[in-house]
Amino acid sequence: MKSLSKILTLATALTLVGAHAFANPDLVKTFKSLETKSKGPFGLNMLQGSRSKIGVLNGSPSGSFQFQAAYRNEIAQKLADTHKFYVGNLFTTNYYELMGEYVYGNRDSSHDLNHQGMANIASQIMPKAEIIVQHWVLEKHYVHANQNSPLARGFRVRGISGSEFEVEYARYFLNFFLTGVQTDQQYLTASLLAKGSPVAASNSLERARNLIAQQYDQSVLSRGEKDPLTRRLYALRNAIHNQLSQSVIGQIDAFVRDYPQYRNDSTITEIRSILVAYYAVSAKRVAEAAQKIGAANIVAVANQLQAGGNMAGFVQLSQLVADLRTQLTTPGAIAWEKKTETLLVLNAASQYLNKELNVLKSVSGKEAFQVVVNLIYSEGFLIKDNWEYFAGEIANSADASAAGAQMPDIIGIASDTLTQAFSPALDQWLIVEPKMQYFIDNTIKSSSLNTASLLTEKIKR
């Protein structure tokens, strides 16, 4: 059976081949020039009104107040205009500029919000919006992995965009984008964007993995690989990257007891908080999210699971979630203004079911694989035809071993889907930063695909 690591190695190699064919010296030069800017890709902090925008220190804008944020500076705008390479991505400015360009005919205009207008022409906006979202997700990955970069520092500057505005505009943007989705690959980019957005109300596992990797790398540089403290960090890194379970929280606590200098370390504290939040998600949260969109069938099953989880209930919930994901991208099936809330139901169910599958000590039946293939589809890593095929194969499997034998093919196809979903943007990012090759690896390890791989190792032989 082909291992997850071998599949990821092949995917990385193919990604690098694509990047070499995309060489662009001017792109690299322009991107590097962001290092000369104290705010990275951002310009002045602005107050945006419906009739004008003005610097935050220069008074009040005319018309009704929309938001406070920093737009792209001249370098970031050149990257966008010349290379279709988007950095400095915010929900506020991206949504407002797209509305200005396509609804009002002027990207730089000051205007009233017209959400219905965006929904009405969403399909026309998608060619540009799709590229923006590709770069947006990749930029988030770059920032998390390169905390000391000019790009990352720019996002930490006070006033870049108020959190209250980002939460509000995240819903606007995702409602619009999901209305315009025309391919499974576009849906995958939206799913990943939402996962790391303020409306998801949770830190992603990807951030925890990036943070522990940085801690380990720093210890290697300062103490060496063979230092006992470094070796403990290496064990934590491996546990979080490859064998994640709730026990890793106890491992972190033991590490802090043995090395009290880390008791108040902000990075270790954040990693622990992310993992605690991840394992605290419950069926109740799924029911609450489903209640907001009137998904009574999901509410009923989630409430039953809250009273006591069981594999039959997990299968039922995962099937309902997969069906809801199909509805989400079926034109007219779900009102445009409910698209974001629907995606949040999928997000909550995915977190809950992945957590439940990951804590299994062993797998004795095919049901766990039925759940995980539905989750892989609901997260966007399988197109509908592939999901239907593999769901059928697993349902007809004789036992857990036969069902698990489908996982390498599923993971391989899903990796291809991910690579396709971020083409050509990922090729461009690899030119400016070769370490972006780890985007595919880290994204897969933070998804149901990693759960699928772990389940195959727990099959009772």
The model's pLDDT over 196-232, given as tens digits with 9 standing for 90+, comes to 888 875 556 778 888 898 899 999 999 999 999 999 9
316 belongs to a structural domain: yes
Do residues 297 and 330 share a domain?
Answer: yes
Do residues 170 and 218 share a domain?
Answer: no
The last residue of one of the domains, among 262, 280, 298, is 280
30 belongs to a structural domain: no
CA pair distance 363, 368, nearest whole angstrom: 7
Do residues 357 and 288 share a domain?
Answer: yes
Do residues 235 and 336 share a domain?
Answer: no
pLDDT tens digit sequence for 171-205: 999 999 999 999 999 999 999 999 988 887 555 67
pLDDT below 70 — which residues of the chain? 1-23, 201-204, 242-243, 461
Overall domain count for the chain: 3
The residue written with tokens 């050149």 in the block is: 78
Do residues 171 and 271 share a domain?
Answer: no
22 belongs to a structural domain: no
Sequence-distant contacts of 399-405: CB under 8 A, at least 24 apart = 399/365, 399/366, 400/363, 400/364, 400/365, 400/366, 400/368, 400/369, 400/459, 400/460, 401/459, 401/461, 402/366, 403/366, 403/369, 403/370, 404/363, 404/369, 404/455, 404/456, 404/459, 405/1
Amino acid at the residue 39: K
pLDDT tens digit sequence for 419-446: 999 999 999 999 999 999 999 999 999 8
Do residues 422 and 300 share a domain?
Answer: yes
CA pair distance 251, 235, nearest whole angstrom: 9
Query: Which pLDDT score, from 0 to 100, does residue 1 have?
Result: 45
3 belongs to a structural domain: no
Do residues 350 and 404 share a domain?
Answer: yes
Do residues 399 and 450 share a domain?
Answer: yes
CA pair distance 299, 259, nearest whole angstrom: 45
Do residues 223 and 314 share a domain?
Answer: no
Do residues 318 and 408 share a domain?
Answer: yes
Q: How far is CA 183 from CA 95, 190, 302, 338, 460, in A?
A: 21, 11, 29, 19, 38
77 belongs to a structural domain: no
333 belongs to a structural domain: yes
Do residues 375 and 230 share a domain?
Answer: no
Structural domain that includes position 178: 38-72+86-200
The last residue of one of the domains, among 183, 200, 217, is 200
Of the chain, the end-to-end C-alpha distance in Å amounts to 15
418 belongs to a structural domain: yes
Query: Which pLDDT score, from 0 to 100, does residue 209 have?
Result: 85
The last residue of one of the domains, among 220, 252, 280, is 280
115 belongs to a structural domain: yes
Do residues 215 and 147 share a domain?
Answer: no
